[in-house]
Amino acid sequence: MKTFSEKIIFWYNQNKRDLPWRNTQNPYLIWLSEIILQQTRVEQGREYYNRFAKEFPTVKKLAGASEDKVLKLWQGLGYYSRARNLHASAKIIAEKYNGKFPETYQEILQLKGVGDYTASAISSFAFGEAQPVLDGNVFRVLARVFGIDKAIDSTIGKKYFRETAFLLLDKKNAGKYNQAIMEFGALQCKPQNPDCKNCVLNSMCFAYENKAQQQFPVKEKNTKQRNRYFNYFVFKYKDSIVLRKRSGKDIWKNLYDFPLLESDSEISEKLFFENPSLKNYFSELKISNKYLVLKVSVIHKHILSHQKIYARFWEIELKKGISESIQKKNNFISIPEKKISKYAIPRLIDIYLKGTKN
């Protein structure tokens, strides 16, 4: 009788997808794919992987690029901290390891933006190290097959799942087994409507036997979302437009959006210019009574993992440009409007801009 790992690998040999990062043992390219595929569907990730692999074929090429170029190439993929961490780690590898990718789980784990899963994946795929991977797909497969009711987002649960995963790991073929169980979760043991009748594991699966597929895996935490209200100003003067480079610890760090006034709640269009915060903001920019409102957008709803953004865009023609000193103080830059495509912007801004062209 085949063991769990043998069944998983047998299924994989028959059903695996042909993906570019599976045709290499280059740890840099494997790392690149793993960072891109965090929080990203495979089909979308493939396009970005090919783009990055072509633009930055080696870790030294990536390390030598500007952050603006990396973020622009990443634009549209979201979770931009992944791109910043990728770039920072490339610099570490170039300097500390002379461009040679670290070869052990423990060394890889020290890279910025790399956790247990990513370090296990790279070390097993590229170097054959016997480290089990645990992503959402693997948690689901193990929880359903073995009826594990420990919460996957609890400290006890994570420890228990890792110990279980290590016991099941094919130590001599760790890379292939890890690829196989992740692919099995993605294609066969899916979150909704898993194909249980045609599953190689149904004879040993607790969830199938007990018709409890939707009860596993167990989670204890619910992600709370907060609402935010963004009032964007698309300041135009002659053929130029004003952008703001985001900074600090907020979302979209180092990407460009427009000058922004955030409010506690939605402000009606009619009462907006009577708002004290708005008057104060325009006074600080020294544009009071020196502008013309050209257009006001509908509210754009943009959903992120922990927050919902409600954004309205105010297209404003200035009678005089914003001074360089005020631009510098507010992280603004004034650019020719036709060159905005050269800057890395959040998806919310991209959607707005595309809408204005229709």
Tens-digit pLDDT profile for residues 208-221: 999 999 999 999 87
Q: What is the pLDDT of residue 288?
A: 83
Q: Which position among 6, 34, 55, 183 bears the catalytic label?
A: 34
What is the reported pLDDT for 358? 63
Which tens digits make up the pLDDT trace of 18-72?
A: 999 999 999 999 999 999 999 899 999 999 999 999 999 999 999 999 999 999 9
With 0-12 / 13-18 / 19 or more C-beta atoms within 10 angstroms meaning exposed / middle / buried, residue 202 is: middle
Cα–Cα nearest to 93, from 108, 71, 78: 108
pLDDT at 237: 96
How confident is the model over 289-310, as pLDDT tens digits?
Answer: 889 999 999 999 999 988 999 9
Kindly list the domain boundaries of the chain, sorted by start residue.
4-215, 226-357
**Mean pLDDT within 238-262:** 96
Least confident of 77-91, 260-274, 310-324: 260-274
**Would you say residue 120 has pLDDT above 70?**
yes
User: In whole numbers, what is the pLDDT of the chain averaged over residues?
Assistant: 95
Region 5-17 average pLDDT: 97
d(CA 355, CA 321): 25
User: Two tokens at 252?
Assistant: 């979209």
User: What average pLDDT score do residues 312-324 get?
Assistant: 95
DSSP class per residue in 60-75:
HHHHTS-HHHHHHHHT
CATH number of the domain located at residue range(s) 4-215 in this protein: 1.10.340.30
Distances (CA, A) of 229 to 204, 267, 268: 50, 9, 12
Cβ–Cβ < 8 Å for 102, 108: yes
Structure tokens at 246: 């985001």
Contact 121, 133 (CB under 8 A): yes
Asked about 34 being catalytic, the answer comes back as: yes
The contacts of residue 160 (CB under 8 Å, 6+ apart) are 148, 150
Name the CATH superfamily housing domain 226-357.
Nucleoside Triphosphate Pyrophosphohydrolase (3.90.79.10)
Residue-wise pLDDT for 155-200, tens only, equals: 999 999 999 999 999 999 999 999 999 999 999 999 999 999 999 9
pLDDT of residue 232: 97
Contact indicator for 246, 255 with CB cutoff of 8 Å = yes
pLDDT at position 269 is 85
Per-residue pLDDT at 317 exceeds 80: yes
Buried b (16+ CB within 10 A) or exposed e, 28-62: bbbbbbbbbbeebeeeebbebbeebbeebebbbeb
pLDDT number for residue 1: 58
For the residues 81-89, what does the mean pLDDT come to?
A: 97
